[in-house]
Structure 1
Amino acid sequence: MSNLAIIVVDIQNEYFPGGKLPLIGIEKAAKNAAKVIEHARSTKDFVVYLQHESTDSEAPFFTPGSQEVAIHPMVAPLESETVLVKHFPNSFLETGLKELLDKQGIDEVVVIGAMSHMCIDATSRAASDLGYKTMTIHDACATMDLEFDDVKIPAHQVHASIMAALAFAYGTVITTSQYIE
């Protein structure tokens, strides 16, 4: 096993068509994430999944026990792979992720998943702040249109803004094909 880990964040049914928070480009992002995961498995890199779940059983999104909270079949974990449940955008907050990575001797992480403007951003920044060499694979991530102060921001601009900020100070941002090469 290497000192690199793939952190698969929230690629869950909730974000796909039929879910309550469908993301723009999630199918393409999940296909790329599946390629990254398969590559990691072939090179014996550590793969860990984060699964967002609400703490409220009546929550409108990520309801515990619902089909929507399940990890999407396109990126289904193997029985030998770890799945950590999280309740916050930052995958390190109250999940034991740091302790798990440290126990595995990990010093470099690759972040993929959803949503670019929330959990990918928070997780990538936290990983960098915790001292991990951090890489985000931008085409294995997806987001949604946002609105602020009556201004609608299309998903591609939201995504590009987040990736630009991550690349500026929090690590490397590359494509799936660049990573696999």
Structure 2
Amino acid sequence: MSAQPRRALVVIDVQNEYVSGDLPIEYPDVHTSLANIGRAIDAARTAGVPVVVVQNFAPAESPLFARGSAGAELHDVVASRERDHYVEKSLPSAFAGTDLGAWLAARGIDTLTIVGYMTHNCDASTAFDATHAGLAVEFLEDATGAVPYENSAGAASAAEIHRVFSVVMQSRFAAVASTDAWRAALAEGAPLPRDNIYLSNQRARKARVAA
């Protein structure tokens, strides 16, 4: 990875299903994240950073993201803006079964900036795959979002899920930052601050002892 990142902004699954459909993003507020996604795209275009738009489709009989449904369509925040590459997928990671890896490699991209939905599913899967492929990852915590879950393993709010996944990503898989912080780093041509597992754990242990 170069000192000056060669970034691509990857806009993951910003589709109506998450806004007006049956899987509404609850945290951060979806209108806040949508606004920040638009700001990130605009900043990327100004800086000459390529924008990759990813769209998820499920079979026509699926209750979510069914091909041909209104919920599967890109939200206007993304659909109304220019993009450099388009990726269609059917699995969580934007790399799985797509040409994303080859497209990035052909352009010498070494850093992915992830925005879109959901934090704990497609965003995290893409971040993990990117890390395993040797890419640096940036995750914009206020331009992404989560939904709540309840199942046989327990229950978690959208805020809990978003917070925990953000902490885990910052410990190893991504530099987590706000859209404003990323825009400033973009303007400077600088990488975002990163952390590691050891220091993340040491801080937690020391805080527990101090309490």
Task: Tell me how far apart the structure 2 counterparts of residues 102 and 164 of structure 1 sit (CA, whole Å).
Answer: 28
* Paired-residue identity, %: 28
Structure 2 counterpart of 1:14: 17
Aligned pairs, how many? 178
Question: Residues 88-109 of structure 1: CA distance to partner in whole angstroms, max 9, x if unpaired?
Answer: 1111000111011111211111
- Name the counterpart of 2:204: none
- Which residue is 2:25 aligned to? 23
Equivalent position to 2:41, from 37, 48, 52: 37
CA distance in 2, matches of 1:169, 1:32: 24
Structure 1 gap segments, 5+ residues each: none
Partner AA of 2:88 in structure 1? V
CA distance in 2, matches of 1:57, 1:13: 16
1: CA distance, partners of 2:166 / 2:128: 11
The offset of 1:150, in angstroms, is 6.5
- State how far apart, in whole Å, the 2-side matches of 1:146 and 1:52 are: 20
Structure 1 residues 77 and 104: CA distance shift in structure 2, 3 A: farther
1:68-79 correspondence to structure 2 within 5 Å: 68-76=71-79, 78=81
TM-score by length of 1: 0.93
CA contact (8 A) 1:30 1:74 kept: yes
What pairs with 1:44-59 in structure 2 (closer than 5 Å)? 44-54=48-58, 56-59=59-62
d(CA) in 1 for partners of 2:107 and 2:115? 19
Counterparts of 1:1-181 in structure 2, within 5 Å, are: 3-17=6-20, 19-24=21-26, 25-54=29-58, 56-76=59-79, 78=81, 81-149=84-152, 151-181=154-184
Q: If you compute each CA radius of gyration, which structure gives the higher value, 1 or 2?
A: 2
RMSD: 1.5
In the alignment, structure 2 segments of 5+ residues that lack a partner are 185-211
Deviation per CA, 1:135-176: give whole Å up to 9, x if none.
Answer: 101110011111243733111110001111111111200001
SS at structure 1 position matched to 2:45: helix
